[in-house]
Structure 1
Amino acid sequence: MKKITLLLIVITGIVSSASAQLLPTFQFGVKGGVNLSAISTSGSVFNNLNTNNRAGFLGGVWARIGGAGFHFQPEVYYTSKNVTFKNDAGAYDKAEFKSIDVPLLVGTRFGVPALGVRLNTGPLVSFAIDKNQDIHGALVEASDLHYKDQNYAWQFGAGVDIKSISFDLRYELGLSKVDNFADDGHAKINMFNLTVAYRLFGL
C-alpha cells in the first residue's frame, strides 16, 4: 500500500511538472541598465578616424509569453548610445544617439520557477528620436553620421531569473548602416548591454 501511494505521488508530480511546462504563461515587468556602444566603420569618409566605446543607458518594459519550455519576449525601451570619435591628430568629439528600441526575442529557460537560466535571440528594430550630435570642429565632415530614422540589429544573450528579478547580458550586432552616406562609407552600431528587470505580475 505504501509503495502504491508513493508511486501515485511520483506520477502526480511528473504530470504536474509537465503540465506546467506545456501551459502558456504570461509575465510583464520593467527593466533598466547600461550599455557599451561601438561603431564599426568603413570607407574613405572614415579614413584616419577611430571610435572608442562609451557607456550609455536604457530603460523600459518587457513581456514574456511561454509554454513547452520556450518563450517569446517582446520589449520596448528608451536607449542612449554614446560613441567617441578620435582622429590621428588626437582631436576627439562625442556623438550620442537616442532611440526607442524594440527587440522581438525567442528563447528557452532551464531551472525551477524561483531560479532559472535563459537563452534569448532575435531581431531588434531601433527608431531614432534624437539625431542631434555633439560634433564640431575638424571632425564634422568625417563623423557626422546623418543618423537614419530606422535601423535593424540582432541580439544574442543570456539571463538569470531569481524569483521576480532578472539579470541579462546581451550583445547587439548592427545589421543596417546607421548613416545616410552614399558609397564612400558606412557605419554600424554594435553594443553590449547589461540590465536588471523586475517582474510586476505573471499569469
Structure 2
Amino acid sequence: MKKTLLILTVVVATAFSSKAQVIPSFAFGIKGGMNLTSISKTGTFATDNRAGYLGGIWARFGALGFNFQPEAYVTGKNVTVDGVKQKFTSVDVPLLFGGKIGAFGLGARFYTGPLVSFAINKDQNYGAAAGNIARLNYKNQNYAWNVGAGVDIRSLSVDLRYEAGLSKQDYGMGSTKINLFNLSLAYKLF
C-alpha cells in the first residue's frame, strides 16, 4: 500500500510538473540590479572595473519548457581608464532564448541571446534612444551576446548573466569592447 501511494504521488507530481511546462504562458514584470563592467585591455591603458546599475521591464513567453524573454532597461556602465572615470549610459534590449525546469512556483532558467545597446550620450537622449528602438534603427549601436541563468521563486526572480561585447564603444580616448556581469532581481507583475 505504501509503495502504491508513493508511486501515485510521483506520477501525479510528474504530470503537474510537465503540464506546467507544456501549457503556453506569458509573464510581465520589472527588474533592477547592478553590473560589474570591464573593458578590453589594449595598448598601454590601465583599466579598473566599477559597479553600475540597470532597471527596466521584461516579458516572458513560454511553452514546452522553452521561453523567449525580451527586455528593455536603462543601464549605467562605469569603468576607469588610466585614472579617468568613464560612464556609459544606454537603453539595452536583450532578446533571450532559453529553457526552464521546475514547477509549483519554483524553477531554474538558462538562456542566451543577442543584445542591442542604444547609447545615450550628448548626441542621443532617452527619447531618441526609445525612438530608435521603436523604428528598429540598429545602425551605429553597440551589440553584445548574453549568457546566463536564473532562479524563480513564485513572483521573484534572480538572474546572473555575462554580457560579451561584440562591437567597440567609443570612450573619448579610443574605442573598445565592453564586457560585464549583471546581477538582477525581477518581480513578476502578471
TM-score after normalising by structure 1:
0.75
* Pairing 1:112–2:103 present: yes
Residue 94 of structure 1: CA displacement? 0.6
Equivalent in the alignment of 1:155: 146
1:42-121 matches, within 5 Å, as 42=42, 47-86=43-82, 92-121=83-112
Identity rate, percent: 59
Query: What does the per-residue CA deviation read over 1:25-57, in whole Å, with 9 as the maximum and x for residues that have no partner?
Result: 000000000000011143xxxx32111100000
Residue 99 of structure 1: CA displacement? 0.3
Residue 177 of structure 1: CA displacement? 1.1
Equivalent in the alignment of 1:27: 27
Which is worse superposed, 14-23 or 93-102?
14-23
Equivalent in the alignment of 2:167: 176
Contact 1:31 1:59 in 2 (8 A): yes
Residue 112 of structure 1: CA displacement? 1.4
Q: Which amino acid aligns with 2:58?
A: W
Q: CA RMSD in A?
A: 2.7
Q: Specify the SS of the correspondent of 2:167.
A: coil
> How far apart, in 2, do the equivalents of 1:189 and 1:73 lie?
23
Equivalent in the alignment of 2:127: none
Q: Specify the SS of the correspondent of 1:49.
A: coil
> How far apart, in 2, do the equivalents of 1:151 and 1:189 lie?
9
> How far apart, in 2, do the equivalents of 1:121 and 1:63 lie?
15
Residue 17 of structure 1: CA displacement? 4.4
Aligned residue pairs, count = 172
* Pairing 1:200–2:180 present: no
> How far apart, in 2, do the equivalents of 1:40 and 1:7 lie?
55
Residue 19 of structure 1: CA displacement? 3.6
> How far apart, in 1, do the equivalents of 2:85 and 2:50 lie?
9
> How far apart, in 2, do the equivalents of 1:180 and 1:54 lie?
15
**Structure 1 gaps, min length 5:** 1-5, 87-91, 133-147
Residue 10 of structure 1: CA displacement? 7.7
> How far apart, in 1, do the equivalents of 2:177 and 2:158 lie?
26
**Structure 2 gaps, min length 5:** 1-5, 124-138
1:1-20 matches, within 5 Å, as 17-20=17-20
> How far apart, in 1, do the equivalents of 2:31 and 2:111 lie?
16
After TM superposition, the runs of 4+ consecutive aligned structure 1 residues lying more than 6 A away are: 6-13
